[in-house]
Amino acid sequence: MKIGSFKLLLCFVAGVFITGCAKDDLSYICINDAPTFDIEQVSTLEDSMSLPNGHDAIIVDYDNSHLPEGGSWRVGSVDVLLMIPSSEFNYYPSNVDLTIEVFGGADPTRAPTWRVKQTVDTSKLEWTDVRLVNPDRAYELSQKQAWWTFDFTGVIPEAGMRSTTFIVGAAWENDTLPTIGYSNFNRPCDRNWTKYSERYGWKLNSDRNEPYGLSDICNWPMLRVSVEERHEAESCSD
């Protein structure tokens, strides 16, 4: 995608238009959306659960070595795998909210924070059937699932993000719903932050003591992250 801008200088002498005096200064703001993280490339769906009044997030890295000098980048969108038990799908309430969070650093207690809150509209999502094999939390094996997109271009400035290590996660600002997909227990806990309540605050899961969790591997929320890259150039490739 590209957005063009230009300046054109024209000269007139005694009412006569002189084409040789025209000067074009043409430049484009080139915008590219690049997938940065996809949980399905490193793990598989295992469970469906929520974290009432809590937060769960993972650390993501962005490689900016290919970005031209003067270019910027920011998280453009986050997809989360929404899950609804099949027996409840036709009765799902219309007021269910979820907040997705992006933190501009490796520590959610110190980094800049951007949030997007949305209400579920089941009619606008593409649903598929899935059957969980041996979930730890889900009470129903037959589920409906759909990827739900959260657009961050309206909250993260175009000037971009600075830290190439950042955090993306989900925040439940209610008592139960919604449930989202969780990956198999095969991802490192030192890349997974959780806040079970405001009282206890954020904890890096590798620092937790038993019986609260495993010390080496965790299940992560099923997320996909895309980054928007921006730079100025004389032309933008397709």
Encode pLDDT of 98-142 as tens digits: 999 999 999 999 999 999 999 999 999 999 999 999 999 999 999
222-233 in b/e form (b: 16+ CB < 10 A) is bbbbbbbbbbee
| The model's pTM | 0.85
Q: Calculate the CA 102 to chain-centre distance.
A: 7
Does 17 or 210 have the greater pLDDT score?
210
Specify the pLDDT at position 15.
Answer: 37
**Are 116 and 150 in contact, with CB atoms under 8 Å apart?**
yes
- Rounded to whole angstroms, how far apart are CA atoms 110 and 107? 6
pLDDT at 95 over 80: yes
Specify the pLDDT at position 209.
Answer: 57
Report the candidate in 74, 134, 128 with the shortest Cα–Cα distance to residue 103.
74
Cα-flanking dihedrals φ and ψ of residue 50, to 5°? -125, 170
The tokens of 129 are what?
Answer: 């059937």
